[in-house]
Structure 1
Amino acid sequence: MKKLISYLSVGILLFSSCQKTQNDTSKVKEEKLPNVVIFLADDAGYADFGFQGSKNIPTPNLDNLASGGVVFTDAHTTCSVCSPSRAGLLTGRYQHRFGHENNFLHGKYGMDTTEVTMADVLKTKGYNTAIFGKWHLGTQDYFHPNSRGFDEFYGFLGGHRGYFFNPDKYDGADKTSTQINHNGKHEAFEGYLTDVLADRAIDFIQDSKKSEKPFLALLSFNAVHTPLQAKEEDLEKFKDHPRQKVAAMTYSLDEAIGNVMETLRKEGLEENTLVFFFSDNGGTGNGDNSPLKSNKGYEFEGGHRVPYLMYWKGQVKGGVTYDGLTSTLDVMPTILKAAGIDKTPKQLDGVDLLPFVNGAQEGMPHDELYWRIGDWKAARYKNYKLVKAEQVGHVVYNLDEDISEQKVLNDALPKVENKLLTNLTNWENDVIAPAWPGTAGWTEVKRYAYGDLFENRKPTITSPGQLKKLKVQK
């Protein structure tokens, strides 16, 4: 019954706009609605791309997008882990508003079916919508991308899988979360998955052009998430690299993005396509996160500050570096505004970025941003940041002067400290509790780690296994 009510709720929210879909579709040619391509990397290191300063991993295609578009230097995801970050991206709302605060491993969990995705809304304007790659927002039919506004889905429903077809591990008939799923059906594939996803997206783009309809293509790559696997020819290119597999995987990711962009050019679609690139959260220990502190799963900058660029030839000035506080919450409202959509069924937490990067609007997209995974929290107010760990403590930093979060300013700035704590409390009162628990075994590990990180020490305990060994030794 709850599932039925959820479907009815979304239907009611979208009913009035959906009535107009047929008329809107007939006007597509006249309106020249922009296409949208989102390139989403997984667990990418902050400094592992040329446009982010990498000297030993060439990424010429992303560098070209960066030089022709806008690079956001103070850009953040809504969470430092995968699934909640994706929920915030697709809804344009803090995922904490609907309880999607933690990652999950079990099929009964997923993104609240009363939430409206960017694909849901774009379809009311006649868009073809597709997602290729990682979903990680639920494996049940009512959580499936085809039930969340996407006409086309080719990818996997879980949080990670290998890059090559493997019927004994990821691609068995019973591997619902890792097998390749094409619109609800299990499919085999040949080749390297990063390439396969790009090829499928290219087919979709070409088909959309033939249909003369605008499109949304979300390429949700699993690169460079573990397991670390790359093509032999790419491994050979980086045989002397200290992080050979990550370098090869990143190179292949860039190559796949280049193939999609080349298709847009050949099809005459580049100037009418708004493009985004970013990672879903901070890099892991496999990535180069310099100069940021910590990595994925933590509320320091290394957990949620990500490479982030926007490209729209002829509409967005190229070669721009934008320093204003920005979020992946802003992707959906930017896209919808570009598509001429001013109203949404639910209020969004993001803003349209185009007026800020084009100089039409002063100030920053955000003065405040917030993060929370259970007891681990953070708040921004302009250049100041609070990181708080329940039962451990909290610290205040000035990121303009200390992006690496090394100098604690609690004593020096008591008024700023109080404001950040008050802002965080007020925000927490405005959202809801997590709809499901976090991954078992990590709470005590995180307390040890935050205690070390607050003192600028390398964490001594980083996994439940290490904690168990420590307790045995004692």
Structure 2
Amino acid sequence: MALIFRFIALSLFVVCCYAQATQPNVVVIFTDDQGYADLSGYGAEKIKTPNLDALAKSGVQLNSFYVASSVCSASRAALLTGRRPVRNGVTGVYFPDRNGMKQSEVTIAEVLKNAGYATAAIGKWHLGDKPQTLPTAQGFDYYWGVPFSNDMYIGHTHQFAQQVKFNQGYTLEKAKRDQQIVKKAGNKRALIKQAGIKELVPIFEGEKIVEYPAEQASLSRRFVDKTINFFQQNPSQPVFVYMTPAMPHVPLFASPEFKGKSAGGLYGDTLEELDFHIGRLVDYLTRTNKRDNTLIIFASDNGPWLGYKDHAGSAKPYSHGKFTNYEGGIRVPGIISWPSRVKANQISQQVVTTLDLMPTIAYYAKASLPNKVLDGHNLAELLEGKQGTLSNPHFLSFKNKVAGVIMGDWKYIKPMMAVYGKSGRAPNNKQALLFNIKNDPAEQNNLLQQRPDKVQQLQRLIVAYEQTL
């Protein structure tokens, strides 16, 4: 009997060790307001991104990669939960001192933590800045970063750590005065800007401020440094890092080593610096023999904020940008690389979305999916070169509504749901829109009247999806 128990124990140990040995490390890099054409591999002429181009060649470059929303918080919540805004309840943008994503939502970090992963969120969070909505309440063992966009401001409810690095002549007393200004202003952004403290953002570690105001010119380097440190601190576990650079969201910053060096102005400097530091991360993984078993995913949270002109990117050949359901707002660069599993040198035109990341990562990590309705699909066969065609519709979002659908080459948008917020230059649509985005990538020719059959087909898809909500 004792021999049998020893055999069972040994078998369980071997199975456990095998599962851990075959679970990949996972790094998701999710930039901010980066346009489709802001990588040299996607057509950028004045911005050089050799490290991201090499990453794409080592795996698959997704040329029809979509986010679930063209605004920050909603897009990020959808990626982390695998659920569209109409399901997870995050439909817009969170500002300081506001409630965030519901704790009942299950993130990729929670799924992977239950499968034995060490988990870290490093960078911009933007799903709530109160303790109960920060990354450490959503499955992340460690958090270091800016809790919202880098153009925001300190919250009056934020707590300071015992040791805080103050910059720009700040002291604890002066920082607390900023908090009182925010509280007195009732979080009204115009008053906060008038007080001169907008764009002075904190850095959190865990649930408390450890730096104020953030030294933004060094953030890209420090985010990668923190990511490398997390790998070093967890040598015996598979690692998941959700690394979310604060830029190229405005205001733009570049370190002295990169400022003025690109042909793309400050915007280009920012991206070339980010590319350099992502290259450092890949080099570290290669030197430490982790690269072959590390799944790296790169994307942007939405398209460029065109209202900022030369401080914004490009979505060419697609139209418009952030805050819109036009292609320039929701189609972003997407790269997936994993040398030991993902076939190299692939360029895919298949419609893939950030919603697909949850089921795909969980599959490779041998993790159980949450007991919730998910909107994504497992991409394993596509990534490994075993499946040629996907046929999944991608439903568009407008606040808390379904705004339209993309199916194959066709795209339908409901009336008055093409644009929300201050988009820059995009017109809203008084009537429904129907585009063949393969033949008309700039969405100039509305085929609503010419193809009523296609309109009806896509409307039926929307109705069927809405019935699942």
TM-score above 0.5, yes or no: yes
Cα gap change, 1:172 to 1:319, in 2 (>3 Å):
farther
2:457 to 396, 413, 419: 419
Are the equivalent residues in 2 in contact too, given 1:172–1:179 (CA < 8 A)?
Answer: no
1:402 aligned partner, one-letter code: D
CA contact (8 A) 2:61 2:336 kept: yes
C-alpha separation in 2, matches of 1:125 and 1:144: 21
- Displacement, 1:382? 1.9
Segments of 5+ residues of structure 1 without an aligned counterpart are: 1-21, 432-474
Matches within 5 A, 1:379-398: 379-390=405-416, 392-398=430-436
Does the CA contact (< 8 Å) of 2:69 and 2:396 recur in 1? no
Partner of 2:251: 227
Q: 1:81–1:281: 8 Å Cα contact kept in structure 2?
A: yes
Find the aligned partners of 2:383 and 2:267 in 1 and give their Cα distance. 32
Q: CA deviation at 1:373?
A: 2.5
In the TM superposition, residue 427 of structure 1 has moved relative to its aligned partner by: 3.1
Q: After superposition, what is the alpha-carbon deviation per residue over 1:149-168, rounded to whole angstroms, capped at 9, x for unaligned?
A: 00010002122249995566
SS in 2 for 1:43: coil
Label 1:169 to 1:412 Cα distance change in 2 as closer, same or farther (>3 A).
farther
Within 5 A, what are the aligned runs for 1:134-213? 134-161=124-151, 166=168, 172-173=175-176, 178-188=201-211, 192-209=218-235, 212-213=236-237
Question: 1:84 and 1:168, CA in 2 relative to 1: closer, same or farther beyond 3 A?
Answer: farther
Question: C-alpha separation between the residues in 2 aligned to 1:415 and 1:100?
Answer: 33
* Structure 2 CA distance for partners of 1:404 and 1:185, relative to 1, 3 Å: same
1:10-409 paired onto structure 2 within 5 Å = 27=17, 31-161=21-151, 166=168, 172-173=175-176, 178-188=201-211, 192-209=218-235, 212-238=236-262, 241=263, 243-285=264-306, 286-364=312-390, 366-373=392-399, 377-390=403-416, 392-409=430-447
Distance 1:421 1:316 in 2: 35
CA distance 1:83–1:166, change in 2 (3 Å):
farther
Distance in 1 (CA, whole Å) between partners of 2:360 and 2:329 is 24
Is the 8 Å Cα contact of residues 25 and 126 (structure 1) preserved in structure 2? no
> Aligned equivalents of 1:304 and 1:24: distance in 2?
45
1:291 alignment partner AA: P
State the 1:332 CA deviation. 1.2
- Three-state SS of the structure 1 residue aligned to 2:332 is coil
Shift in alpha-carbon separation, 1:115–1:216, aligned structure 2, 3 A: same
SS at match of 1:80: coil
Q: CA deviation at 1:198?
A: 0.8
Query: 1:422 Cα shift?
Result: 3.3
Mapping 1:435-474, distance limit 5 Å = none
CA deviations 1:396-449 (Å, max 9, x no partner) are 001121111111111110011122233334434443xxxxxxxxxxxxxxxxxx
Q: Per-residue displacement from partner, 1:61-89 (whole Å, max 9, x unpaired)?
A: 10110111100111100000100000000
Partner SS, residue 260 of structure 2:
helix
Q: Note the alpha carbon deviations across 1:300-348, whole angstroms, 9 max, x for none.
A: 0011000001000121111100111110001111111001125432232
The one-letter code of the counterpart of 2:292 is: E
**Local SS of the residue matching 2:257:** helix
In 2: Cα distance, 1:23 partner to 1:347 partner: 33
Q: Please give the alpha-carbon distance, in whole angstroms, between the structure 2 residues aligned to 1:67 and 1:260.
A: 17
**CA distance in structure 1 between the partners assigned to 2:270 and 2:175 by the alignment:** 24
- In the alignment, is the contact (CA less than 8 A) between 2:359 and 2:376 conserved in 1? yes
AA of the residue aligned to 1:125:
A
Once residues 245 and 224 of structure 1 are traced to their aligned partners in structure 2, the CA distance between those partners, rounded to angstroms, is: 10
Q: Give deviations 1:347-366, integer Å, cap 9, x for gaps.
A: 32111112123233353062
Number of residue pairs aligned between Structure 1 and Structure 2: 405
Distance 1:154 1:419 in 2: 46
Q: What is the distance in 2 between the residues matched to 1:246 and 1:169?
A: 31
Distance 1:178 1:354 in 2: 39
**2:68–2:74 Cα contact (<8 Å) kept:** yes
Q: RMSD between aligned alpha carbons?
A: 2.7
Change (3 A) 1:374 1:255: same
Deviations 1:17-36 (A, max 9, x none): xxxxx989953675431100
1:40, 1:278 within 8 Å by CA — same for their partners in 2? yes
Is the CA contact (8 Å cut-off) linking 1:116 and 1:345 kept in structure 2?
no
Q: Which amino acid aligns with 1:389?
A: P
Q: What is aligned with 2:158?
A: none
Unaligned runs of 5+ in 2: 1-11, 154-165, 183-199, 307-311, 417-428
The CA distance in 2 between the partners of 1:169 and 1:76, in whole Å, is: 43
CA contact (8 A) 1:78 1:88 kept: yes
Q: Determine what percentage of the aligned residue pairs are the same residue.
A: 31
Cα contact 1:294–1:303 (8 A) shared by 2? yes
Alpha carbons of 1:102 and 1:29: their partners in 2 closer, same or farther (altered >3 Å)? Answer: closer
Aligned partners of 2:406 and 2:171: how far apart in 1?
42
Q: Per the alignment, in what secondary structure is the counterpart of residue 229 of structure 1? A: coil
**C-alpha separation between the residues in 2 aligned to 1:172 and 1:196?**
22
Listed one character per residue, the Cα deviations across residues 250-300 of structure 1 (whole Å, up to 9, x for unaligned) are 001101111111110111100010010000011121111111111000010
- Equivalent position SS for 1:72: strand
Q: Structure 1 202/30 Cα, relative in aligned 2: closer, same or farther at 3 Å?
A: closer
The TM-score with structure 2 as length reference comes to 0.80
Maintained 8 Å contact 2:36/2:333: yes
SS in 1 for 2:414: strand
Change (3 A) 1:296 1:52: same
The equivalent residue for 1:17 is none
Answer whether contact 1:133 1:222 (CA < 8 A) is retained: yes
Q: 1:216 to 1:304 in 2, by over 3 A?
A: same
Alignment TM-score, normalising by the size of structure 1: 0.80
**Contact residue 299 and residue 376 of structure 1 kept, 8 A:** no
